[in-house]
A = this chain, B = another copy of it.
Amino acid sequence: MPGTRLDPIDRKILAELQADGRMTNVELAKRVGISAPPCLRRVRTLEEAGFIRGYHADVDARELGFEVQVFAMVGLVSQAEADLSVFEERCRNWSLVRECHMLNGEVDFILKCVAPDLSTFQTFLTEELTKADNVASVKTSLVIRGAKDEPGVPFDILEERLSREA
């Protein structure tokens, strides 16, 4: 809701919980400078308003044996809305595919995929992805190494922007 403007305390709460989602409410309250009860109420409100979608443990995929990470650029034959939706739904059902974003430009979709090894991915690629209806082209790139991986919101930019407005 754009009408529901957040105050500095709410933004601090979001930033803190983004950094550490299991922080206790008393610790959070201390950090944002209010007492525990109103702090908890704010968190609940933020959750219900959709600012917080959920909480997740960040599990190390590599430690669990998922050695391979691949970006796949997919071009479709038809870009009619119905066909786009069908492809998106298919991506949601492939658990190797962790992300699927529709792009502008020459490529229609970018997929981020994870697999235990290359052969598992290759099987998926040749037997599932490229064979899927409406898929015209697939170009893949293996991730050699990750340099930064911090899903989330850059709160520093948000604060900077807000202070400039004021």
Also in contact, A154 and B102, with CB within 8 A (given A21-B22, A53-B59): no
A53 touches B60 (CB 8 A): yes
Q: Is A54 an interface residue (CB 8 A)?
A: yes
B148 touches A91 (CB 8 A): yes
Which of the residues B22, B52, B100, B110 comes within 8 Å of A59, measured between beta carbons?
B52
A51 touches B22 (CB 8 A): no
- Which residues of the other chain, B, contact A71 by a CB distance below 8 angstroms? 101, 103, 110
- Which residues of the other chain, B, contact A50 by a CB distance below 8 angstroms? 60, 63
**Interface residues of chain A: helix, strand, loop or mixed (majority):** mixed
B151 touches A151 (CB 8 A): yes
Interface size of A by CB at 8 A reads 67
B52 touches A58 (CB 8 A): yes
Complex CA gap A101/B88 in Å reads 24
Interface hit among A34-42, A125-133, A155-163: A155-163
Nearest neighbor of A93 in chain B, beta-carbon distance: B148
Nearest neighbor of A89 in chain B, beta-carbon distance: B147
Which residues on A are within 8 Å of B, measured CB to CB? 1, 6, 14, 17-22, 49-61, 63-66, 69, 71, 88, 91-92, 95-105, 107, 109-110, 114-116, 120, 141-154, 156-158, 161
Q: List 27 A-B contacts (CB under 8 A).
A: A6-B64, A14-B57, A14-B59, A17-B57, A18-B57, A20-B56, A21-B56, A21-B57, A53-B59, A54-B58, A55-B56, A56-B58, A56-B151, A59-B153, A61-B152, A66-B153, A71-B103, A95-B156, A98-B149, A98-B152, A99-B148, A99-B150, A99-B151, A100-B148, A102-B144, A114-B154, A151-B151
